[in-house]
Structure 1
């Protein structure tokens, strides 16, 4: 049914409610007719409906008013409770500021120790500059935070100083690694592998995490510096034996047994039987045993993924899985395996491929000096981690 038809139906029904009506009244033998028209009925119904509607509106308004008053009283009560507890919260807030300041002072000592370890002298105190100006403004607006803001300003100055130091050292280490013909980025990635330990936030648990980007840059710069210097320190630049005679070089040569052309994948150093064989760099003994033509053989895997191999040995002084430092004795010179006499066969391998060890053993003195600094830093970090 359409809307128009429905409206017409309701209109006809409503019209049926209000029709002309006649009433008969008998009085003293006479009959009278009282007629009430449909129009009058509609008027009376309208008046009654209006009165009822007004009464309902007034009643509803009174109820709404009572609810509004009740709500306002409830809000006022809650506000009074908040006001009453405000002093307690301010006291707790001030206690929290004291805890944060104490925590920052502890972290301050850690940052200063790091600067002394990696960056030498401490920079001047942050009495001027943007950090100090910010601390003064915070102290004027919120006296309770003056102490905290001053400490943080000092830490920001130290963070910027450390970032500069770490960036310079990373660049020097990367340049030194390139002198050996190696890729600094790939070695730095490998140097980050095999790391772990529990998470201890540098800025403590009580205070909010420091979100200043200068701290993020400092952490990134220190991480990059550590990776580069570990990679540089792991490059084998120390002589594997205290001998001065190299009997065979790297590359193609005439095979000592057959006389035919052959590829020699390392350097041969001739010396007396049982001459001490030394680790060319810090690392871990990843192989110690017999290996075909190499005879008694030791392999050391270094922090940057490089591997050094020492062959034809007469005996071992280390065991599998042992950590060794640069220059310590790992074996004794011999003539085991495919060998014509007592000597050391020394190899350097990257990703399984042999490369000429001479580029490492004949490194520029300036490069070796940078490597010595990197090695001492890496040793200090390892000791601290333990």
Structure 2
């Protein structure tokens, strides 16, 4: 069959490229050239290669032109953003300097405005007290406010005013990044943040009780624009605080210290039967009497022996969350006792269905076992941002 196909292909090519004779007359002499099918196919192939190359080159040029156009647009947008930012800052400075000129060199009015803004910022920064990373985030802005080198008292007062706005910008940026990071910690643990934050707890405090910025401006005796920015930042700080409080109630800590994990969550080969079986927690290997710690604050809901688990402790953390610590050698808490994160609750052992001393640790959400590793990793992520 293959020979017949080759023969048919050869006849088709010969019909497409039949032998041609080319005659050229020059100076009374006639010359003849024979164009065999092979020569014609070679020439056609060359033309096809050239056409393909030209097509590819043209397409590359068009794509490059489009890419340059997209890049130029992005550069233009970035430049426009910074130009607007610079123009806004310059407009604020020009407005303030115009007020200084109108006051005939008196700094009284401007100093009073700065003092009122300072009082508003003092209320706002009170909400930042003891917040992780807040001091590091705000220190550069505070340092700029204290480093005004201008000897002119009018200019120095205005530089303090501008630094107040920079401090407000830094606080707003910190609040947003902190809230985003805490929300991500919830998602790493497989939880929805809003489920563990009581309704209305994300809002509160004197700066955000007044929904209307005009009312807040009247209370603080500052301009409306500054009051609106203070209110927005206060809302962000309040949300971050509520998220942080909710996270503090979750079991995100390690149940033991400096002990390796010997088995993970999911299907594994059962050490007794040698068959695949579902493992509903994490195993941490260690020596007898290794301290076991509560991974989050809560109330002890069970102590005793459970089938297969041996000596067991269960802690209710609220919101449908429960942790279980099994195969213990000793139990150091009682039912109904309130425990804190990191508190010693028992000692590692090998009771129940166990092949050696280790801790079997489980996390339950609404009556279903979850992967404890997600909670441990979420806790490590939160600590990295502290």
TM-score, reference length from structure 2: 0.49
TM-score, reference length from structure 1: 0.49
* The structure with more radius of gyration: 1
